[in-house]
Amino acid sequence: MKILLTGGCGFIGSAVIRHAMSHGAHEIVNIDKMTYAASEDALEAARTDPRHVLIRADICDPAAMRAAFSTHQPDVVMHLAAESHVDRSIDGPAAFVQTNVTGTFTLLEAAREYFATLTGEKREKFRFHHISTDEVFGALADSDPPFNEHTPYDPRSPYSASKAASDHLARAWMHTYGLPVIVSNTTNNYGPWQFPEKLIPLMIINALEEKPLPVYGQGLNTRDWLFVDDHAQALLKIVTTGTPGATYCIGARQPQRNIEVVRAICAILDELRPSPNGPRTRLITHVTDRPGHDHRYEIDPTSAKSALDWTAAHDFERGLRATIAWYLAHEEWWQNIRAGRYAGQRLGGVAA
């Protein structure tokens, strides 16, 4: 299968590529603008695999998108490219509307034009898989049931609003034009190669450097955590076996309060690399909460598990230990980011 995948040098996109390259004879056409959070290193062996092609292009560029479809003739599309950091969306929402809304529109139009040229089995098997977030559903109280495929949309931030808009566009292109669209929504991902502005890598790195561990408010906001390799496996199952028009909610049912996540990171680091200054929980610093901070996200993956015959392989403790071990073993990668592109930026992503 030849997959046209957007955002393949990002955190989740690169995990999908690594999984696809090692599980089958897939070919990947990777379209990435190579913004600040993109890393070719995250492709690992796929970087030099002849089955992988990297196209440095913006999904908002109609000519570039049409050329990618025309030249490479993909079997399916996996659309992961997005601006995804909530704090950045609060500070600068325009980039989120441009990439997440205009970019998705541009890609859908290029896919629609390409799909119109297909015939026979290639047309029958073509899929446009749009990958989204649980944040489009809004926020949950502690007593509310988790999100599922039928939860109404209620986005609360510029980021989640832009993703909700892109979800609606994708579904509209199926109902109006017949483009075979599949949508999946996932919860917070974590794991190797995540850019150090997100909660878990930020806390790991700050703790290693004996810097403050900033936690919004009292840290009682709850997120449902999914190890990125488990998500990548689910996404490949969706694009190969999913039903056009369906929505799949992908989660691991591993909810944790933010303060619990930070304390767990401290405990594992104290075990693996003890600090001469004592337990790292002393570094936890509570800071002013961010505007419109959603209290809780959690996904009920029951339907997706049944439809896809998929279950997340990692529980949170196992996944977190693997993630921390990875950051300990790849210090040069994140040190280069901290010293270069990331140096001097304010602490973003202090809460998930």
Let me know if 124 is a catalytic residue: no
Alpha helices per DSSP H over 224-315: 228-241, 258-272, 302-308
**The two structure tokens encoding residue 336:** 């280069």
Q: Which residues contact 233 (CB under 8 A, 6 or more apart)?
A: 19, 310, 313
Active-site position among 27, 87, 134, 149: 134
Cα–Cα distance for residue pair 275/213, rounded to 1 Å: 15
Rg (CA), the chain: 20
Let me know if 153 is a catalytic residue: no
Active-site position among 27, 32, 87, 135: 135
Active-site position among 32, 149, 159, 216: 159
Cα–Cα distance for residue pair 133/79, rounded to 1 Å: 12
**The two structure tokens encoding residue 107:** 């890609």
* 276 half-sphere exposure, CB direction, 13 A CA radius: 0
Cα–Cα distance for residue pair 63/37, rounded to 1 Å: 24
- For the chain, the first-to-last Cα distance in angstroms comes to 35
Of the candidates 187, 146, 159, the residue with the CA atom closest to the CA atom of residue 12: 187
Cα–Cα distance for residue pair 150/332, rounded to 1 Å: 44
**Amino acid in position 323:** T
24 in Cβ contact with 237 (< 8 Å): no
Let me know if 135 is a catalytic residue: yes
Q: What is the DSSP secondary-structure string of 69-95?
A: HHHH--SEEEE------HHHHHH-HHH
Cα–Cα distance for residue pair 51/227, rounded to 1 Å: 26
Q: Which residues contact 155 (CB under 8 A, 6 or more apart)?
A: 135, 136, 137, 138, 161, 163, 164
Positions annotated as catalytic residues are 134-135, 159
